[in-house]
């Protein structure tokens, strides 16, 4: 029996020697590589935190010692050590483990996560609750240097520095978020990493200064100011200590004996502590070490070669990047913005071709939106490419700093709709509803690549103000031979003038086409109204629905505030007397494949047929 098979909780680590713990780390790495090669998921980030996690759960073995992982895409070792090793192959599949910490999955996960920069604030809330209730146990926040580019992290640090008891923040510094880190924080941490003499010098000098004889208040003040000045020289900044933390590091995040000693010491300090730990993303798997960005999030792959098991074709993300480059070649005003997702959103080609007009803000969506508003206010044409789930973080800025300003900003909303295995925290099902509430915003939702090109052109040059172009993950879906994609606001397809009208937008049009064919074979005449512009609703599209006997709206987005509700309200205002049925989303969508999710939500072609037959029969 392997050592890993004998670990069912952190308590099982306690009898192991350092050498045995190091051997266990090797077994865990192999377990992660093997599992992710079959399930897909986050690989490089998890390989970089194996020793750190083992050390944490060795020193903090109780379920009352609560660890909050920022983003949570590095917590596979945590799951393995907390009783979920046997279930690891089920990760990211229907009914299996989540790819992120989830408080509904295990008592060892104190907080459900998936977005960056939240750990310090959440952990501080947990620590404060424990203090108020007199509950035992330590609280630790583990945050990566990539997540430290997000403003919420500093709001958390600013407040946590005043906490009156032990509170540990671990800065997991691997010089990466997903793309290579950028900006002042990355430079600051790099400077700290290049000062191996820092810890010894800091200890020696502060010891000397603390024992300096004081002769009255003036000399005491002088010594205090001198200590501050020397710290500033050693740091180049006193960022963490100025926020109230005791700072220690940097430490080698793969040196297990050192990590154990440091964590034991940190636990005894009755004060907020920040431990700076340097790790290597992708450690232990050559291909991930050489290209950690490519192995951040992966699909199934061949361990021996590092090659994906299934070659992907052209995607909406890639097509968007190509289209934007075509426009930018002719228009020097076009700028592209990414929030640490250059590769994921298809902007790598743009970044190489137009480096002066490409801006990576780090994981700072709020800043990216307001930055775009500033660019637009002085005549540039900014395009912010961002996953739907992450754009949620910039909602106030969309309202206040772009729409209210009346400026030309284009949001290229990637991963709109169901994304599949990443689950509740990443499904892009809220953007249509939250854009609906903002005056003066136009929202386009293409189903095919040609429509994406036309919509992006219209967003840049024809439509006023803020325009969002939202498109799904992956490639374009099925398209009937008789349908010609275009940039039109809306289109009709199928049985002209049929009493049943099926309405949808985005990639669900493909599902609707298959449903319409099946309905025709079963004696139900239906026509499809395909919306390309979903806000504001085209008046002519409302006219086309006005006199139907039954209207069925299927929406891959939230029901409350969504496009279907707005369409129904507009029809009623026009005196519509037919039957209206809306099938949309009214819950968080768990991790499973896109096809499984659409079936569960009754949004695939089979469900459309069944719903229409049932309701039309009534």
Q: Which residues are catalytic?
A: 281, 365, 393
Q: Taking Cα atoms as reference points, which of 386, 379, 331 lies closest to residue 354?
A: 331
Other beta carbons within 10 angstroms of residue 184's beta carbon come to 10
Burial class (CB in 10 A: 0-12, 13-18, 19+), 313: exposed
Beta bridge partners of residue 336, listed in sequence order = 358, 383
> Cα–Cα distance between 176 and 182 in angstroms, integer?
9
DSSP secondary structure letter of residue 199: H
Token couple for 30: 């192999």
- Residue 553 in contact with residue 585, Cβ under 8 Å? no
Contacting residues for 441 by C-beta, under 8 A, at least 6 apart: 398, 403, 435, 465, 466, 467, 468, 535
Report the chain's terminal Cα–Cα distance, integer Å: 62
- Residue 577 in contact with residue 551, Cβ under 8 Å? no
- Residue 410 in contact with residue 385, Cβ under 8 Å? no
> Cα–Cα distance between 46 and 29 in angstroms, integer?
8
Q: Is the peptide bond before 536 cis (omega within 30 degrees of 0)?
A: yes
Per residue in 536-568, is it b (16+ CB within 10 Å) or e — as a string? ebbeebbebbbebebbbbbbbbbbebbbbbbbb
Per residue in 114-129, is it b (16+ CB within 10 Å) or e — as a string? bbbbbbbbbbbebbbe
**Helices 256-267 and 18-39 sit at what angle, rounded to 10 degrees?**
100
Query: What does the DSSP assignment read for 545-583?
Result: HHT-SEEEEEEEEESTTSHHHHHHHHHHHTT--SEEEEE
How many residues are given for the chain?
A: 618
Beta bridge partners of residue 141, listed in sequence order = 68, 169
Q: What is the longest distance spanned by two Cα atoms in the chain?
A: 100
- Residue 557 in contact with residue 429, Cβ under 8 Å? yes
């Amino acid at each position: 029996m392997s050592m890993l098979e004998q670990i069912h909780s952190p308590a099982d680590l306690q009898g192991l020697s350092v050498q045995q713990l190091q051997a266990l780390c090797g077994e865990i790495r192999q377990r992660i590589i093997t599992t992710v090669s079959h399930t897909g998921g986050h690989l490089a980030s998890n390989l970089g935190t194996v020793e750190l996690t083992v050390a944490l759960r060795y020193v903090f073995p109780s379920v009352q010692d609560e660890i909050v992982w920022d983003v949570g895409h590095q917590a596979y070792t945590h799951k393995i050590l907390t009783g979920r090793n046997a279930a690891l192959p089920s990760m990211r599949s229907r009914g299996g483990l989540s790819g992120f910490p989830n408080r509904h999955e295990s008592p060892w996960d104190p907080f459900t996560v998936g977005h960056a920069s939240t750990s310090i604030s959440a952990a501080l809330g947990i620590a404060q609750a424990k203090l108020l209730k007199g509950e035992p146990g330590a609280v630790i926040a583990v945050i990566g240097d990539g997540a430290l580019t997000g403003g919420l992290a500093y709001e958390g640090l600013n407040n946590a520095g005043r906490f009156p008891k032990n509170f540990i923040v671990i800065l997991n510094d691997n010089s990466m978020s997903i793309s290579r880190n950028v900006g002042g924080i990355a430079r600051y941490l790099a400077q700290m990493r290049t000062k191996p003499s820092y810890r010894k010098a800091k200890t020696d000098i502060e010891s000397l200064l603390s024992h300096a004889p004081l002769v009255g208040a003036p000399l005491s003040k002088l010594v205090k100011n001198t200590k501050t000045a020397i710290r500033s020289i050693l740091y180049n900044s006193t960022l963490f200590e100025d926020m109230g933390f005791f700072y220690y590091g940097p430490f080698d995040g793969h040196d297990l004996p050192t990590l154990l000693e440091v964590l034991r010491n940190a636990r005894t300090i009755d004060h907020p502590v920040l431990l700076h730990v340097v790790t290597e993303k992708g450690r232990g798997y050559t291909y991930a070490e050489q290209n950690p960005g490519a192995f951040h999030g992966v699909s199934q792959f061949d361990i021996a070669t590092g090659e994906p098991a299934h070659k992907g074709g052209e995607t909406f993300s890639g097509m968007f990047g190509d289209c934007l480059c075509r426009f930018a070649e002719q228009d020097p005003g076009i700028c592209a913005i990414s929030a640490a997702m250059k590769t994921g959103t298809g902007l790598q080609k743009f970044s190489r071709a137009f480096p002066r007009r490409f801006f990576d803000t780090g994981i700072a969506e709020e800043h990216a939106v307001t930055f775009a508003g500033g660019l637009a206010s002085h005549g540039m044409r900014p395009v912010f490419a961002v996953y739907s789930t992450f754009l949620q973080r910039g909602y106030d800025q969309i309202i206040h700093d772009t729409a209210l300003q009346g400026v030309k900003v284009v949001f290229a909303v990637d991963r709109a709709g169901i994304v599949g295995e990443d689950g509740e925290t990443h499904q892009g099902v809220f953007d249509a509803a939250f854009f609906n509430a903002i005056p003066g915003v136009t929202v386009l939702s293409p189903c095919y690549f040609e429509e994406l090109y036309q919509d992006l052109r219209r967003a840049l040059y024809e439509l006023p103000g803020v325009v969002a172009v939202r498109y799904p993950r992956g490639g374009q879906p099925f398209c009937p031979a008789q349908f010609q994609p275009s940039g039109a606001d809306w289109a009709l397809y199928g049985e002209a003038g049929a009493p049943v009208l099926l309405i949808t937008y985005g990639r669900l049009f493909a599902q609707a086409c298959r449903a319409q064919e099946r309905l025709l074979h079963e004696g139900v005449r239906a026509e499809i109204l395909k919306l390309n512009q979903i806000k504001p609703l085209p008046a002519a599209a409302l006219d086309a629905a006005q006199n139907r006997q039954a209207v069925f709206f299927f929406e891959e987005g939230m029901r409350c505030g969504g496009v279907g509700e707005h369409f129904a309200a507009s029809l009623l205002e026009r005196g519509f007397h037919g039957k209206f049925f809306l099938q949309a989303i009214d819950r968080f969508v768990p991790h499973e494949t896109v096809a499984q999710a659409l079936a569960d939500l009754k949004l695939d072609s089979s469900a459309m047929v069944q719903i229409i037959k049932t309701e039309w029969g009534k």
